[in-house]
A and B are shown apart, each in its own frame.
Chain A
Amino acid sequence: MKIPFSLRKNKRSNWVLPYMFFLLVFVVAPLVLIGLYSFFDYNGNFTLKHFVKFFTQTEILNTFIYSIVVASVVTCICILIAYPAAFFLSRMNVSKSRILIMLFVLPMFVNVLIRSLATVALFDFLHLQLGEGALLFGLTYDFLPFMIFPIYNSIVKIDPALIEAAQDLGATISQLISRVILPLSVPGITSGIMMVFLPAISTFAISEILTLNNKRLFGSIIQENIMITDKMNFGAALSLIMLIIIYLSLMIERKKGSQEEQETGF
């Protein structure tokens, strides 16, 4: 067999081929399919009716807005809990903070569905009603580590000399935090938001379990439509709309973060 020239030598760039194949089959092709399906009806005729449907059917639009509200609330709660936690973690000595970080990571070893089921059990045990409250609790519980790590990373990266400089120039501890540490950890907060807000919009399993399928998020709608053969095209359109929103928010972040070094928690 004749080996193509580019493959003849074990060039290092060839090592990426398996991943390129993976990307092509499982990322690019599905994206193309989603794009195509969105603009065709079940019979294969070009149409924009799915998009019209999205903007005219109040139930779907409302679910979409509700998802954004839920995701925003969860993101805010995560920031409020994660920021102080990350701040104190960053000020601890490494041996102590390592244990705490481990404790934060540990729940992530457990599958998210099992964790959600455990949350249901916990609420049952405490005689608390499942529903919106359980949903917010469950999502916060699931996504909190994704907020802590980027913030922690951005805070530990702050040069200690900057903190000394601020104190030297007369900053009290609250001024130090508001004028130096907070602005310098913005890249961490933005990556945290990306990693919490976007998955929270599109989640469906967690919301089904924790609200007994009473409160539906945008992810549930997509999932329901995709599962039904003749509504698949509509489901694809909804996915496309969500992708566009994710892309737009990524662009906004990139613009904000273009000066500072891009930073992700993992």
Chain B
Amino acid sequence: MAESNPFVPLGAADNPAAAGHPVAADNPAPVAGESNKETYIIQVRNISKSFGNKNVLNNVSLFIKKGEFVTILGPSGCGKTTLLKLLAGFHLADQGEIILDGKCINNIPPHQRPMNTVFQRYALFPHLNVYENIAFGLKLKKTPEDTIEKEVKRVLKIVGLTDYEERDVNSLSGGQQQRVAIARAIINKPKVLLLDEPLAALDLKMRKDMQLELKQMHKDLGITFIYVTHDQEEALTLSDTIVVMRDGVVQQIGTPVDIYNEPVNPFVADFIGESNILNGIMKKDKLVSFMGRDFDCVDVGFAENEQVDVVIRPEDIYIMNRNDNAMINGRVTSCIFKGVHYEMAVETENGYELLVQDYNAFETGSEVSLIVKPFDIQVMKKPIVSNVIEGQMLSSTSVELFGAAVECKENNDIEPGTAIRATIGFDEIELMDYKEDGALGGEITFILYKGDHYHLTVTTDNGNILYVDTTEVWDDGDNVGIKFYPDKIKIEKA
């Protein structure tokens, strides 16, 4: 921690000993089989954090290599900023460890951590000019004035603001302020640079330029970047590794290509890029059935007839004039020009809607055929196939589910008071406009379109999660009443 940390050249990432990293004797490897742990500059181990009774981070683990550009990606409220603040030291973890260079830094205050942050809204000191802002960190360390001057000149050159020393920070544009914020952080030669949605406040064109510059800076400086964003395109452009988060849980960690081509679940597929997500059944290895027919695919290792989610990217669907030998026939219902390509919605003969991207336009109403190649079909395990709720028998005709009394089919085999497990299919729940009309109230927290129906995630008022398949159109955040059908609740002893 106390050692000065010159920028580590990228090559050193493979050989931590070369970068002068002490193998701490007082920190024996906690788990066997992690002999290569020293290549990680940061290890986040099983971190949990809650504010009040809201669980913001749930058992998050993350291993970051030296010199890597890691992006933490997720929708707002997924806990990504909290994770960054934990790394910076502004929050304390409830559980788990953050290890930097082999040492636990949980209890080290932010001002002693060898990391620096580029804040979302820059957070430049309004009472200081550009020079004083950038020199802030070095002045605190009582660095000699001539060294500071040299360093400020150097970092200003890196961020492309030479000769801006005397400017008042309030007179700078957003992009220039962002550059000052970056300069202010990198002048301290941190081991890790944390960036909290640094480009969110910039306009699109400026954002694109800054993305490329950031990438170049990362290459030149060779330090580890941890970047937080909700912009999937930004994540794909910048990162070596993307960490997709949702509701405080890491969904997938991988390279941009992996994440895009092989999303592990419908959430990731939906969040990264456009996608068609459909319910399917894995007939056998390399054969999947969806939209009412069988398709060859390349996925293996599923159980026979296992229910799966199928993802097809819109640009992977080939569209052509109606050809009776094609796999899928349909009609174009909308056609929008998107600059490089056209984006078309195609309704298939058996009632599925697919999003297709192609360089050629097929007018609305035209009859078309679609082809999907086997390796463009991404098959994913379904995390769950129906709602399973722990509850208890209240009487022979009612059960308690999520704290609410719910009518069920008469069942005399199970004594009232017995703990039970109720299974309810996704499509066996009805959503009502008013909370009072249902057995439970809830809010729609996530919507996934599955070609011919919506797969909704409903968070009940008491914080439980239900999944509902429906053809009705709801909006994210709608308040709903949740109604169960007595004869659709399958009950068994827990």
A59 adjacent to chain B (CB < 8 Å): no
**Chain B nearest CB: distance from A119 CB in Å?**
39
A12 to chain B, nearest CB (A): 33
Q: Which of B89, B120, B126, B188 contacts A169 (CB 8 A)?
A: B188
Given A161-B119, A162-B123, A164-B119, answer yes or no on A169-B109 (Cβ-Cβ < 8 Å): no
| Closest chain A residue, CB of each to CB of B128 | A183
Q: Which residues does chain B contribute within 8 Å of A166, judged by CB atoms? A: 125, 136
Partner of B140, one of A159, A171, A184: A171
State the majority secondary structure of interface residues on A: helix
Beta-carbon contact of B111 and A168 below 8 Å? yes
CA distance A64 to B125 in the complex (A): 41
Q: For B116, list chain A residues within 8 Å (CB).
A: 168-169
List the B residue with the shortest CB-CB distance to A167: B110
Given contacts A170-B140, A170-B141, A170-B188, A165 and B111 within 8 Å (CB-CB): no
* Top 10 A-B pairs, shortest CB-CB distance: A161-B123, A169-B137, A165-B123, A167-B110, A183-B127, A168-B117, A170-B140, A170-B111, A167-B111, A161-B119
Residue B456 at the chain A interface, CB threshold 8 Å = no
Interface assignment of A180: CB less than 8 Å from any CB of chain B: yes
Complex-state Cα separation, A78 to B136, whole angstroms: 31
What are 20 A-B interface contacts by the 8 Å CB criterion? A159-B121, A161-B119, A161-B121, A162-B125, A164-B90, A165-B119, A167-B111, A168-B88, A168-B117, A168-B185, A169-B111, A169-B136, A169-B184, A170-B137, A170-B140, A171-B136, A179-B136, A179-B140, A183-B127, A184-B126
A171 touches B125 (CB 8 A): no
Known pairs A162-B126, A165-B123, A167-B109 / 4 extra A-B pairs, C-beta < 8 Å: A159-B121, A167-B111, A168-B111, A172-B111
CB distance from B339 to the nearest CB of A (A): 36
Residues of B within 8 A of A170 (CB): 111-112, 137, 140-141, 188
User: Which chain B residues border A165 with CB–CB below 8 Å?
Assistant: 117, 119, 123-125, 184
A175 CB within 8 Å of chain B: yes
**How far in angstroms is the closest Cβ of chain B from A233?**
47
Inter-chain CA distance A165–B88, complex, in Å, is: 10
Number of interface residues of A (CB under 8 A): 17
B interface bracket (residues with beta carbon within 8 Å of A): 20 to 34
- With contacts defined as CB atoms under 8 Å apart, how many contacts are there between chain A and chain B in the complex? 61
Chain B residues with CB below 8 A from A184, complex form: 125-127
**Cα separation A183 to B125 with both chains bound (whole Å):** 10
A175 to B115: give the CA distance in the assembly, Å: 18
Q: Which residue of B lies closest to A173 (CB)?
A: B111
How close is A94's CB to chain B, nearest CB, in angstroms? 15
Question: B141 to chain A: which residues have CB within 8 Å?
Answer: 170
CB distance from A186 to the nearest CB of B (A): 8
Q: Interface of B with A (CB < 8 Å)?
A: 88-90, 109-112, 115-117, 119-121, 123-127, 136-137, 140-141, 184-185, 188
Nearest Cβ distance between residue A80 and chain B, in whole angstroms? 22
Give Cα distance in the complex from A186 to B70, angstroms. 40
Residues on B with beta carbons closer than 8 Å to the beta carbon of A179: 136, 140
Asked if B117 and A164 sit within 8 Å, CB to CB, the answer is yes
Smallest CB-CB separation from B112: which chain A residue?
Answer: A170
Q: How far is the CA of A180 from the CA of B123 in the complex (A)?
A: 12
**Chain A nearest CB, measured from B175 CB (Å):** 18
Instruction: Tell me, in angstroms, the Cα distance from A180 to B136 when the chains sit together.
Output: 10
Question: Taking the nearest CB of chain B, how far is it from the CB of A260, in angstroms?
Answer: 8
List residues 138-170 of chain A with CB under 8 A from any CB of chain B.
159, 161-162, 164-170
CB distance from A93 to the nearest CB of B (A): 12
Residues of A near B120 (CB, < 8 A) are 161
Q: How far apart are the CA atoms of A164 and B185 in the complex, in Å?
A: 13
> Do A167 and B90 have beta carbons less than 8 Å apart?
yes
- Is A171 touching B111 in the complex (CB atoms < 8 A)? yes
- Chain A positions within 8 Å of B127 at CB level: 183-184
Partner of B110, one of A162, A164, A175: A164
Q: Min CB distance, A159 to chain B, in Å?
A: 7
* Bound Cα distance from A100 to B148, whole angstroms: 44
B199 to chain A, nearest CB (A): 16
B125: which of A168, A172, A175, A180 is its contact (CB, 8 Å)? A180
Shortest distance between the CB of B76 and any CB in chain A (Å): 17
Q: In chain A, what residue has the closest Cβ to B132?
A: A179
The minimal Cβ–Cβ distance linking A171 to chain B, given in whole angstroms, is: 6
**Measured between C-beta atoms, what is the minimum distance from B133 to chain A in Å?**
9
Q: How far is the CB of A176 from chain B (nearest CB, A)?
A: 8
In the complex, which residues 155-211 of chain A have their Cβ closer than 8 Å to any Cβ of chain B?
159, 161-162, 164-172, 175, 179-180, 183-184
Min CB distance A162 to B, Å, is 5
Tell me the bound Cα distance from A81 to B136 in angstroms.
29
CA distance A257 to B140 in the complex (A): 27
* Min CB–CB distance A53 → chain B (angstroms): 45
| B115 contacts across to A, CB distance below 8 A | 168
B386 shortest CB reach to chain A, Å: 44
CB distance from A216 to the nearest CB of B (A): 41
Q: Which residue of A lies closest to B88 (CB)?
A: A168
Nearest CB on A from B238, distance (A): 21
Residues of chain B lying within 8 A (CB to CB) of residue A180: 125
* Nearest chain B residue, comparing its CB with the CB of A159: B123
Chain A residue numbers with a CB within 8 Å of B90 are 164, 167
Shortest CB–CB separation between residue A213 and chain B, in angstroms?
A: 46
Smallest Cβ distance from B87 to chain A, in angstroms? 11
Chain B residues, Cβ within 8 Å of A164? 88, 90, 110, 117, 119, 123
Chain A residues in 8 Å Cβ range of B117: 164-165, 168
Nearest A-chain residue to B117, judged by Cβ: A168
Which chain B residue has the least Cβ–Cβ distance from A180?
B125
In whole Å, how far is A163's beta carbon from the nearest beta carbon of chain B? 9
Q: Contact between B123 and A169 (Cβ–Cβ < 8 Å)?
A: no
Q: How far is the CA of A159 from the CA of B124 in the complex (A)?
A: 10
How far does the Cβ of B327 sit from chain A's closest Cβ, in whole Å?
54
Residues of A within 8 A of B110 (CB): 164, 167-168
